Each structure stands twice: as structure tokens, then as C-alpha cells.
């Protein structure tokens, strides 16, 4: 009888526990094998397609370029931040993660048939060899550079340190071409290009990217401000246009103003190895000094960790625009032949518990989430903040996008080329903080003499309509088109006059940059930048500063 009972119990046990466990493992094994079968099958299909196209396509192919397009398209189906870096792009990868690359220390832009130098990093090979902003590169190592893109020339001008590259340039105002010998070197672009005082009591520093040592550099800058300026009472940290970088550096930047042992961010991914908590490790440089952080719509990732943490802990006031909304963490893996893939492994969460990742994208472009789809969290003082979609500033300023006509002046190099001509006939700025450009009429004359046309979308459509009216011999419509074209011509000059102050500021910055480089350009903004002026206003009013950070 006992044996029968034991038999029945064991049977029930097997049915209830052992069989489901066996089926579970069988299903897991099936799922595992099924997934990898699909991977192997599709790799074979892709390989066969790639081989057949390269061997038989009528016009011939570039195998490397074709593969790069295929890989980019595959990764583009995931998120905008998962990317492939080919061997030729490894220096670009170093630049985004380390802030350095091997080359000459200059940037250019194609203008007409040739690339023209637009930026030079002080104390690097291009600067030492005497290359100037505005120089037109007509040959590289004796090879004609006509028709080459800026990217084509970057690949040539980058190379191992101590190797030579010869640039033949045409310099505006010169009668002959000149050949310069440059010795390539490691170019380390400073992630804190400027720190200093905007007035007697307020310090300022700008952080352009979260590359290696950015945390240490921010801490050193604040430490220097404190040591050299006894009257320092508050600090502005500028993170505008900072697209992010290394998460560890974001923690270090926070540690400048936040004491040891405070949680800055946590990460959660599909794999446990990507789950982590990041806390400040050392004493703050100053954990009490009033702080204003500037952000805009292009402040992303690590910039949002810093600004979001400062906001969540009520450590400072955030000023500007809604940030980008990138709450993802990327890792990189080498995939052979010195190429890499960067892929998303986790999401990060800031101290209040919110993730600021914008979950809505259309064709790779971020779409703003309505507040109704965003969850509410609270800061240390009890202020309400939202997740998903970026960091909302405590003080929101108007969109800083330039008017269409101003953007046209920038994109089509009207301001740049004018400054090149202006520099030939006028003394350079003597002081970046006080320099003022007072020749706006000369700039307007330059535009008229060169037949500036803003090429608005309406005007482009009018040209198409005009062509059709001529074909149809419709004189009445053609007369109306001419009137509208005349009105559009007047409108562009009205728009230029309306945006005269920002145009003057852009000209001032360009002229100052040519003399004092990036630090000078930053200082030139102090007297007119609405973000900096608002930060000065808030930091100068202790009661207002405290009211913003108080619970509501």
C-alpha cells in the first residue's frame, strides 16, 4: 500500500514539476537554436547577394563602399546611435571618444572647386606651419585638389605622427600660390576650450564634449577660477551643443559640484553585465557655490546626465531649451580589420529615477513626446520633473535657431568670405571681450555687389512656375510672377535688416576667432549671448535663485 502511495506521489511530482522543467529547457534550446539558425541562414543569403552583385553588376562596384552601405542600413533599423566605423573612420571614432586624432589640426569646407580652411587649432601642425583661415587648398603632396571634398582631404592629411604632408595653398590677397610643409602630430582638441570670469563675481566655463579627462579638466578649471579670483561667488557651466560622450566623465563632471558617494546614474540593459550604478568617488571642488547650467536642443546624452543630475538634486538652475533626449548607453566592439561597431547596450536613469530617452523617432529623427505620455518624478526638494523626451530647463529661453536668411548667410559662406576680405584691409580685433564690428553697411554693400540671393523655397517654386508660364506663353501669369519676385527681393533685405544684430554678432565672432581662436570666440559672446545674460541675472539675484530651486 505504501509503495502504491509513493508511486502515485512520484507520478504527480513528475507531471507537475519535472515534465514542465524538461519542456522549458527543451523550448529554450529550440528557441536558442532557432535564433542562431536564422542568423546563419541570413548571413549566407547576404553573403551570396553581396558576392553576385560585386561579380556581375553592369557598372562595377566598390566592395568596401557597398558593404558599408549595407551595414549602415542594417544598423539604421535599430536606433540613430548604433553605428559602424570602418578602418578609414577609426580616427573619427578616436575623435569622438578621446578628443584626439593624428593629423594637422585644421578643418575645412568645400567652397566652389576647392576646400577652404575654416578652423585651425592653435599650437598644432597647421598653426605652426603658418596655415591661415581662408587659405584655399589647391594641391596636396603635389596632387591637384580641385573637386576634392573636405572628407577626401581629411583622409590624406591625417596620418602617423612625424610624417610629412605638403599643402599648396592660395591665400586671398597673395599674388602667388604657396607650398607649406606640415609635420603631422597627435591633435588633442581641448574639451574645455575656455574658462574665465564674465564679471567680478561670476565664473564661466564651456565643455564641448565628454571625451577622456573632461571631468578632470572641468574640475581643474573650477579649481583655478576659485584660486585666481577671490571674489568668485557663482559659476556658469555651458553644455550647449555638447552631444555627450563617456558616461564615466559625466560622473566626474558632476563630482565637481556634488560630494562623494552620491548616485549620479544607473544603467539597465538586457544583459546583467550592463547593469551598473555610478556614484561620485571623491570630494567636490565646491558643493555649495551657486551654479547655472546652460543647455539647448543639441545637448545630449552625457550632457543630459550632468544637467539632469544637477536638476534632480536641486544643485543648480538649468537654463535654455529642452535638451535632445538621449538616455542610451553605447559600447563598442572591434569586428576585425581595425573596424568597430558601436551599439546600444542599456538605458541610463538619473537620481530621481527618470530616464530621459525620447522613445519616439520617425525616419531617425526625434519627435517631441507630449507631456501626457511622460511620467512624473520629483527632485530632492520635491519639484516635479518629467521623464522621456529630454531635460526641461528651469528657465526656458526662446528657440535659438537662426532666421532662414541668417542661416543662408552662414551655410553659403557669405559671412565667412566677407570676413576674409575684411581682414585683408582692416586691423584685427585687439580684445575679444570688447571688440565691436561697426561696418554693417559695408557688409550690406558686399552682399549687393555679389548679388546675394537667399534662394527661399517660395522663390525656387516661382522660378519653376516662371519656366512653365514661358512655355505656355502666358504673359499675365508671368507679369504676376515678376511682381512677386520683386517683392521677395525686397523681403530678403527686410529680413536682413530685422536680423542685423545677430548678423553683427556672427561677424564679430568670425573675426575674433581668426585672431584669438576658440577661447576668443567664446569671450566675444559674453556681452550679447541671451543665455549667458540670463544666467548672470539669475546668479546675481540670490532670492530668485533659491525660489527656482524651492519645492512648489
Question: Among 380, 401, 377, 381, which residue's Cα sits nearest to residue 389?
Answer: 377
Q: What is the per-residue pLDDT across 30-49, written as a single tens digit (0 to 9) for each?
A: 455 677 788 888 888 888 88
What is the reported pLDDT for 9? 43
What is the reported pLDDT for 1? 47
Instruction: Indicate the pLDDT class of residue 362, thresholds 50, 70 and 90.
Output: low
Q: pLDDT higher for 14 or 546?
A: 546
Q: Is the pLDDT of residue 27 over 60?
A: no
Q: For residues 141 and 166, is the Cβ–Cβ distance under 8 A?
A: yes
Q: pLDDT higher for 402 or 446?
A: 446
What is the reported pLDDT for 28? 47
Contacts of 415 (CB under 8 A, 6+ apart): 409, 503, 506, 507, 510
Q: Is the pLDDT of residue 143 over 50?
A: yes
- Residues 124-135, mean pLDDT to the nearest whole number: 95
Catalytic residues: 301, 326
Phi and psi dihedrals of 103, rounded to 5?
Answer: 180, -145
Question: Among 401, 413, 406, 420, which residue's Cα sits nearest to residue 505?
Answer: 406
Q: For residues 507 and 419, is the Cβ–Cβ distance under 8 A?
A: yes
What is the reported pLDDT for 301? 93
What is the number of other CB atoms lying within 10 angstroms of the CB of residue 482? 12
Q: Looking at the structure, give the CATH architecture of the domain made up of residues 194-399.
A: Alpha-Beta Complex (3.90)
- Residues 137-144, mean pLDDT to the nearest whole number: 94
Question: Among 507, 496, 517, which residue's Cα sits nearest to residue 133?
Answer: 517
d(CA 550, CA 552): 6
Q: What is the per-residue pLDDT across 101-126, written as a single tens digit (0 to 9) for each?
A: 788 999 999 999 999 999 999 999 99
Distance, CA of 447 to chain centre:
31
Q: What is the per-residue pLDDT across 56-95, written as a single tens digit (0 to 9) for each?
A: 888 878 888 888 888 888 888 787 778 887 766 666 666 6
Q: What is the per-residue pLDDT across 405-424, written as a single tens digit (0 to 9) for each?
A: 999 999 999 999 999 999 99
Q: State the helix-helix crossing angle for 542-549 and 530-539, rounded to 10 degrees.
A: 100
What is the reported pLDDT for 462? 67
Q: Is the pLDDT of residue 168 over 60?
A: yes
Q: What is the per-residue pLDDT across 311-360, written as a single tens digit (0 to 9) for each?
A: 999 999 999 999 999 988 888 888 887 788 888 889 999 999 999 988 66
- Tracing cell 602617423 back to the chain, one arrives at 160
d(CA 113, CA 541): 54
* CB burial readout 254-289, b (16+ within 10 A) else e: bbbbbeeebbbbbbebeeeeeeeebebeeebbbeeb
- Residues 235-252, mean pLDDT to the nearest whole number: 95
Q: Is the pLDDT of residue 14 over 90?
A: no
What is the reported pLDDT for 79? 74
Instruction: Give the domain 100-188 fold.
Output: Pdz3 Domain (2.30.42)
Map residue 537 onto helix, strand or coil: helix
- Residues 497-517, mean pLDDT to the nearest whole number: 96
Q: For residues 411 and 399, is the Cβ–Cβ distance under 8 A?
A: no
Percent of the chain with pLDDT over 90: 60
What is the reported pLDDT for 330? 81
How buried is residue 24: exposed, middle or buried, by Cβ count under 10 Å (0-12/13-18/19+)? Answer: exposed
d(CA 549, CA 120): 41
Q: Which of 72-76, 224-228, 453-457, 469-473 has the lowest mean pLDDT?
A: 469-473
Mean model confidence pLDDT for the chain:
87
Q: pLDDT higher for 62 or 299?
A: 299
Instruction: Indicate the pLDDT class of residue 169, thresholds 50, 70 and 90.
Output: very high
Q: pLDDT higher for 130 or 462?
A: 130
Q: What is the per-residue pLDDT across 461-504, written as a single tens digit (0 to 9) for each?
A: 766 666 666 666 766 666 666 777 677 778 889 999 999 999 99
Q: Is the pLDDT of residue 256 over 70?
A: yes
What is the reported pLDDT for 17? 45
Amino acid at each position: 500500500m505504501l509503495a502504491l502511495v509513493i508511486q502515485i506521489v512520484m507520478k504527480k511530482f513528475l507531471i507537475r514539476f519535472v515534465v514542465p522543467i524538461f519542456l522549458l529547457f527543451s523550448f529554450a534550446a529550440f528557441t536558442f537554436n532557432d535564433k542562431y539558425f536564422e542568423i546563419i541562414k541570413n548571413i549566407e543569403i547576404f553573403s551570396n547577394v553581396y558576392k553576385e552583385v560585386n561579380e556581375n553588376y553592369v557598372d562595377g562596384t566598390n566592395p568596401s563602399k557597398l558593404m558599408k552601405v549595407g551595414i549602415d542600413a542594417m544598423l539604421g533599423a535599430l536606433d540613430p546611435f548604433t553605428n559602424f566605423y570602418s578602418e578609414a573612420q577609426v580616427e573619427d571614432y578616436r575623435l569622438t571618444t578621446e578628443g584626439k586624432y593624428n593629423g594637422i589640426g585644421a578643418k575645412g569646407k568645400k567652397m566652389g572647386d576647392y576646400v577652404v580652411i575654416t578652423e585651425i587649432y592653435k599650437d598644432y601642425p597647421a598653426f605652426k606651419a603658418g596655415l591661415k583661415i581662408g587659405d584655399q587648398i589647391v594641391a596636396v603632396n603635389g596632387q591637384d585638389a580641385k573637386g576634392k571634398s573636405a572628407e577626401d582631404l581629411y583622409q590624406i592629411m591625417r596620418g602617423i605622427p612625424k610624417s610629412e604632408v605638403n599643402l599648396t595653398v592660395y591665400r586671398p590677397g597673395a599674388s602667388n600660390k604657396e607650398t607649406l610643409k606640415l609635420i603631422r602630430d597627435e591633435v588633442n582638441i581641448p574639451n574645455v576650450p575656455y574658462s574665465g570670469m564674465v564679471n567680478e563675481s561670476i565664473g564661466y566655463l564651456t565643455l564641448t564634449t565628454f571625451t577622456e579627462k573632461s571631468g578632470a579638466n572641468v574640475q581643474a578649471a573650477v579649481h583655478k577660477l576659485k584660486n585666481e579670483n577671490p571674489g568668485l561667488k557663482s559659476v556658469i557651466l555651458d553644455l550647449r551643443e555638447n552631444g555627450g560622450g563617456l558616461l564615466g566623465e559625466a560622473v566626474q563632471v558632476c563630482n565637481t559640484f556634488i560630494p562623494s558617494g552620491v548616485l549620479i546614474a544607473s544603467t539597465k540593459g538586457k544583459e546583467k553585465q550592463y547593469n551598473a550604478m555610478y556614484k561620485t568617488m571623491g570630494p567636490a571642488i565646491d558643493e555649495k557655490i551657486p551654479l547655472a547650467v546652460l543647455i539647448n536642443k543639441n545637448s545630449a546624452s552625457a550632457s543630459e546626465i550632468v544637467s539632469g543630475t544637477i536638476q534632480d538634486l536641486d544643485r543648480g538652475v538649468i537654463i535654455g531649451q529642452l535638451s535632445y533626449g538621449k538616455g542610451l548607453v553605447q559600447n563598442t566592439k572591434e569586428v576585425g580589420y581595425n573596424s568597430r561597431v558601436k551599439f546600444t547596450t542599456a538605458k541610463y536613469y538619473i537620481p530621481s529615477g527618470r530616464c530621459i530617452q525620447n522613445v519616439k523617432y520617425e525616419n531617425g529623427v526625434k519627435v517631441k513626446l507630449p507631456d501626457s505620455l511622460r511620467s512624473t518624478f520629483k527632485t530632492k526638494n520635491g519639484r516635479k520633473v518629467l521623464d522621456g523626451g529630454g531635460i526641461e530647463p528651469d528657465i526656458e529661453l526662446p528657440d535659438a535657431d537662426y532666421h532662414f536668411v541668417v542661416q543662408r548667410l552662414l551655410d553659403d559662406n557669405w559671412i565667412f568670405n566677407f570676413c576674409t576680405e575684411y581682414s585683408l584691409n582692416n586691423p584685427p580685433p585687439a580684445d575679444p571681450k570688447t571688440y565691436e564690428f561697426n561696418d554693417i553697411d559695408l557688409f550690406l554693400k558686399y552682399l549687393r555687389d555679389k548679388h546675394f540671393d537667399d534662394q527661399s523655397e517660395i522663390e525656387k517654386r516661382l522660378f519653376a512656375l516662371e519656366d512653365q508660364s514661358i512655355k505656355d506663353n502666358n504673359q499675365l501669369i508671368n507679369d504676376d510672377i515678376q511682381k512677386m519676385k520683386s517683392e521677395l527681393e525686397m523681403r530678403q533685405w527686410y529680413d536682413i535688416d530685422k536680423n542685423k544684430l545677430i548678423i553683427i554678432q556672427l561677424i564679430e565672432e568670425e573675426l575674433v576667432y581668426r585672431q584669438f581662436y576658440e577661447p576668443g570666440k567664446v569671450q566675444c559672446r559674453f556681452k550679447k549671448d541671451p543665455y549667458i545674460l540670463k544666467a548672470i541675472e539669475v546668479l546675481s539675484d540670490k532670492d530668485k535663485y533659491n525660489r527656482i530651486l524651492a519645492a512648489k
